[in-house]
DNA sequence: CGTTTTGTTCTGGC
DNA sequence: CGCCAGAACAAAAC
């Protein structure tokens, strides 16, 4: 499932292949995937050049000549390129198809959860785009004092708070489990019982794990693939998906519970609840 | 054939 | 109104 490292990996691949290309045709195949849209006629996207491609949390932002095109892969969104006109089979789950100079760009999601937003480029700060306005900072940009202030009043489990992209951007179900394992915090620990020092640890491990994963091109679990490339970080996961396995530190059996409705892996010996 | 899975938003209770 | 828990969303693997 694409979290920040997977999204960065995809984005890097897109940058390497698409910067400077011109959109010759834009064909929205799944209308309900278009959430925000500031232009009435999508033909306005024609002849727009791809100036830049960046990411914020799990969002990918295409900076065009006059517009921003923001996409989110959700769980199963994928991007494929073709040299030739894609076949009917290739387009079955398509969200949109773009012709970019010499190649065809196909954004697909067989579950149709992936989203697209289109905005006028009136503001250089992408954080002012509607869909990104409320997104929190990525771990590297977070100021520990304001993060602690924000979080210390919450009575939700730490895992739920870390998964909420309004609090911190980039972590998903897989990496949150790894972060909490390394920080030795029980996923159900209420956030308002976590000290600033402990929270600092959480941030430290978040940065470290995400950096390691980015280095390895993300994790490939189930169906994630970065336009054909597979990540390698899944081999480094310590707790997530460790069903019927044992903690590498203490040998205790990894436990699986539900937190915020999500499958959660942790070591009951090393990640104990306090208070 | 029911349960589980994912990221995010929505809904409703308090 | 804010906070939080849980449902909803789609589709497929188990």
Domain boundaries, chain A: 4-132, 139-266
- In angstroms, the Cα distances linking A10 to A214, A239, A269 are 10, 25, 37
Can you tell me the distance from the alpha carbon of A71 to that of A188, in angstroms, rounded to the nearest whole number? 31
> Is A29's CB less than 7 Å from nucleic acid strand C?
no
What is the per-residue burial (b if ≥16 Cβ within 10 Å, else e) of A97-107?
Answer: bbbbeeebbbb
Known catalytic residue: A2? Answer: yes
Q: Annotated catalytic residue: which of A58, A78, A159, A182?
A: A58
Return the nearest residue to C4, CA–C1'. A156
pLDDT given for residue A219 in this prediction: 66
Q: Which CATH superfamily is domain A4-132 in?
A: MutM-like, N-terminal (3.20.190.10)
Distance A156 CA to C6 C1' (A): 13
Asked whether the beta carbons of A104 and A22 are under 8 A apart, the reply is no
**pLDDT, tens digit only, all 275 positions of chain A:** 688 988 998 898 899 999 999 999 999 999 889 989 999 899 999 999 999 999 999 999 999 999 999 999 988 888 988 899 998 888 888 999 999 999 999 999 888 889 999 999 988 899 999 999 889 999 999 999 999 999 999 999 999 999 999 999 999 998 999 999 999 999 999 999 999 999 999 999 999 999 998 888 776 544 444 454 556 666 667 667 767 788 889 999 889 899 998 989 999 999 999 87
Known catalytic residue: A275? Answer: no
**How is residue A165 annotated by DSSP?**
T
Distance A160 CA to B13 C1' (A): 19
> Is A64's CB less than 7 Å from nucleic acid strand C?
no
Can you tell me the distance from the alpha carbon of A214 to that of A246, in angstroms, rounded to the nearest whole number? 26
> Is A89's CB less than 7 Å from nucleic acid strand C?
no
For chain A, count helices (H), then strands (E): 5, 11
- The architecture in CATH of the region A139-266 reads Orthogonal Bundle (1.10)
Can you tell me the distance from the alpha carbon of A130 to that of A134, in angstroms, rounded to the nearest whole number? 8
Give nucleotides in strand C with any atom < 7 A to a protein C-beta: 3-12
Can you tell me the distance from the alpha carbon of A122 to that of A131, in angstroms, rounded to the nearest whole number? 15
**How is residue A235 annotated by DSSP?**
G
């Amino acid at each position: 499932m694409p979290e920040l490292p997977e999204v960065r990996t995809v984005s890097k691949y897109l940058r390497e292949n698409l910067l400077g290309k011109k959109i010759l045709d834009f064909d929205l195949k799944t209308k309900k995937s278009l959430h925000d849209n500031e232009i009435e006629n999508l033909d306005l996207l024609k002849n727009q050049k791809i100036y830049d491609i960046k990411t914020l949390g799990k969002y990918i932002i295409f900076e065009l000549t006059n517009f921003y095109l923001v996409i989110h892969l959700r769980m199963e969104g994928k991007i494929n390129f073709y040299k030739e006109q894609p076949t009917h089979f290739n387009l079955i789950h398509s969200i949109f198809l773009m012709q970019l100079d010499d190649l065809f760009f196909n954004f697909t999601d067989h579950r149709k959860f992936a989203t697209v937003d289109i905005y006028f480029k009136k503001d250089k700060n992408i954080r002012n785009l509607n869909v990104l306005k409320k997104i929190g900072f990525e771990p590297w940009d977070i100021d520990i004092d304001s993060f602690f202030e924000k979080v210390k009043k919450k009575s939700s489990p730490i895992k739920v708070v870390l998964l909420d992209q309004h609090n911190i951007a980039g972590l998903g179900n897989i990496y949150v489990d790894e972060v909490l394992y390394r920080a030795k915090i029980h996923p159900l620990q209420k956030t308002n019982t976590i000290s600033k020092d402990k929270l600092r640890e959480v941030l430290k491990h978040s940065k470290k794990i995400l950096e390691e994963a980015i280095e390895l091109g993300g994790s490939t679990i189930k169906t994630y693939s970065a336009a054909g490339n597979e990540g390698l970080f899944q081999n480094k996961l310590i707790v997530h998906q460790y069903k019927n396995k044992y903690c590498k530190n203490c040998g205790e059996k990894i436990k699986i519970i539900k937190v915020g409705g999500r499958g959660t892996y942790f070591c009951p010996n090393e990640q104990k609840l306090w208070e």
